[in-house]
Amino acid sequence: MLSSLSIAYLFLGGMGAGAVLVACLLDMLWAHEPFGAAVPCSLGASSLQHRAIAFTCAVGTLCLIAGSLCLLFDLGRLDRVIFLIQNPSLTYLTFGAVALGLLIACAAFLTLVRFVFLPIIPGVLVVVIESLACVLSLGVMLYTGLLLESLGSVSAWNTPLVPILFLLSSASCGIAVALVCAFFDGHAVGGFAVPRILIFADAAIVSGEFVATVLYGLLPPAGASFASLATGDALALLLWWLGFVFCGIAAPLVLETIAHKRLSLPNRSGQAFACLAIASVLVLVGGACLRVGVVNMGSHAKMELRASIERPVQTDDTGEEWLL
């Protein structure tokens, strides 16, 4: 029902928002990175922690931009975007577009001040933008799931468990981006103290994903749609069980448990970071497979159209009607 570009947006938008959220929280709660005249003249002179946060923020920004481009190309017509801006209404589409645009602006600013020496930018301003970016990130992460929930034609999407699943998955993907950036930034083994905190956070989030997935399969309205997905054709089985359940939940939990134990042993930090890097890649694979699997439920679901009052319709300048 949704195009490949829409699925790509659901994944890239969620992952990008999660990465920006993780980067901002790490800086505000732990790293306390200096800005303005106190910042080093080059990123290479910064600490391992600050460089990892900078690259996490940069990757998140690129993912958000790529996701927004997927959304624009999926619309197919620029005049619809202009019409939406000129005629705003209180819908998930408007909320998501505004939140995404503001988040990209904040993330781009936060990336710029980390990669370019700007002594005139005060640290207080950066903290304010980081706080705003955290709120916007949560909004974008929820919106990717709320967008599906608002489509009343598919009963399997009409449940709050869809936004919850997408929110948890986006947060886990954001942590995965941070861990990958920490590992590949000069092999920051032993110098980057954050992974131990992120291991606990990601383990809790992935466990929440497992609980939400079980509830999603047991509670209505998913019903037969979930059963057809979990027991259907070979591709559906591969995406759901191997892609999401194994790569996105089971394997990361095992690898993160091993990494936590290795970090406590001398001369084993390299093995720990290798486990974290593999787990992070698997989390990203699982996040993509989750969105493909949930979207593909629409092809198995019984179509149930809501009343027109619940599905507002707007008419653009050409007289064509399209759902919000």
Write down the pLDDT at residue 239: 85
Tokens of 50: 């600050």
Q: How confident is the model at residue 303 (pLDDT cuts 50, 70, 90)?
A: very low
Cβ–Cβ under 8 Å, residues 35 and 157: no
Residue where the block lists tokens 């920490």: 182
Q: How far apart are the first and last CA of the chain?
A: 16
DSSP one-letter code for 34: -
Q: Three-state DSSP class for 121?
A: coil
- The runs of H, that is alpha helices, within the chain are 4-26, 48-75, 78-86, 92-115, 123-149, 161-184, 195-218, 223-230, 234-237, 251-263, 269-296
Question: What is the predicted pLDDT for the residue at 39?
Answer: 60
Instruction: Work out the angle at residue 166's Cα, subtended by the Cα atoms of residues 160 and 167, and round it to the nearest 5 degrees.
Output: 90
The secondary structure of 226-273 as a DSSP string is HHHHHSS-HHHHIIIIIIIIIIIIIHHHHHHHHHHHHHTSTT-HHHHH
Q: Tell me, what amino acid is at 112?
A: L
- Asked whether residue 302 carries a pLDDT value surpassing 50, the answer given is no
How far is it, in rounded angstroms, from Cα 152 to Cα 201? 33
Confidence of residue 38 (pLDDT cuts 50, 70, 90): low
How far apart CA 285 and CA 269 sit, in angstroms, is 24
Which band of pLDDT confidence, cut at 50, 70 and 90, is reported for residue 311?
Answer: very low
Amino acid at 150: S
% pLDDT > 70, the chain: 70
- Alpha-carbon distances, residue 40 vs 29, 34, 116 (angstroms): 20, 8, 10
Coil, helix or strand at residue 155? helix
Q: What is the pTM of this model?
A: 0.83
What is the Cα 165 distance to its own chain's centre?
Answer: 11
Q: How far apart are CA 200 and CA 195, in angstroms?
A: 9
Of 233, 225, 240, nearest in space to 285 by CA: 240
Residue-wise pLDDT for 40-78, tens only, equals 555 544 566 778 888 999 999 999 999 989 888 876 655
What percent of the chain clears pLDDT 90, i.e. is strictly above it? 33
How confident is the model at residue 304, as a pLDDT?
43
Q: Which domains, and CATH codes, for the chain?
A: 4-323 (1.20.1630.10)
If DSSP codes are grouped into helix, strand and coil, which group holds residue 312? Answer: coil
pLDDT digits (tens, 9 = 90+) for 4-27: 888 898 999 999 999 999 999 988
**Torsion angle in degrees (nearest 10) through CA of 163, 169, 173, 175:** 100
Asked whether the predicted pLDDT for residue 86 surpasses 80, the reply is: no
Closest to 108 in 3D by CA, of 67, 138, 174, 63? 63
pLDDT over 90 at 135, yes or no: yes
Predicted local distance difference test score (pLDDT) of residue 324? 43
- What integer pLDDT is reported at residue 190 of this predicted model? 46
More confident: 180 or 205: 205
More confident residue, 23 or 294: 23
- What phi and psi, each to the nearest 5 degrees, are found at residue 69? -65, -40
Out of 183-187, 254-258, 312-316, which region has the weakest mean confidence (pLDDT)?
A: 312-316
Most confident of 101-105, 149-153, 179-183: 101-105
Judged against a pLDDT cut of 70, whether residue 229 lies above it is answered with: no
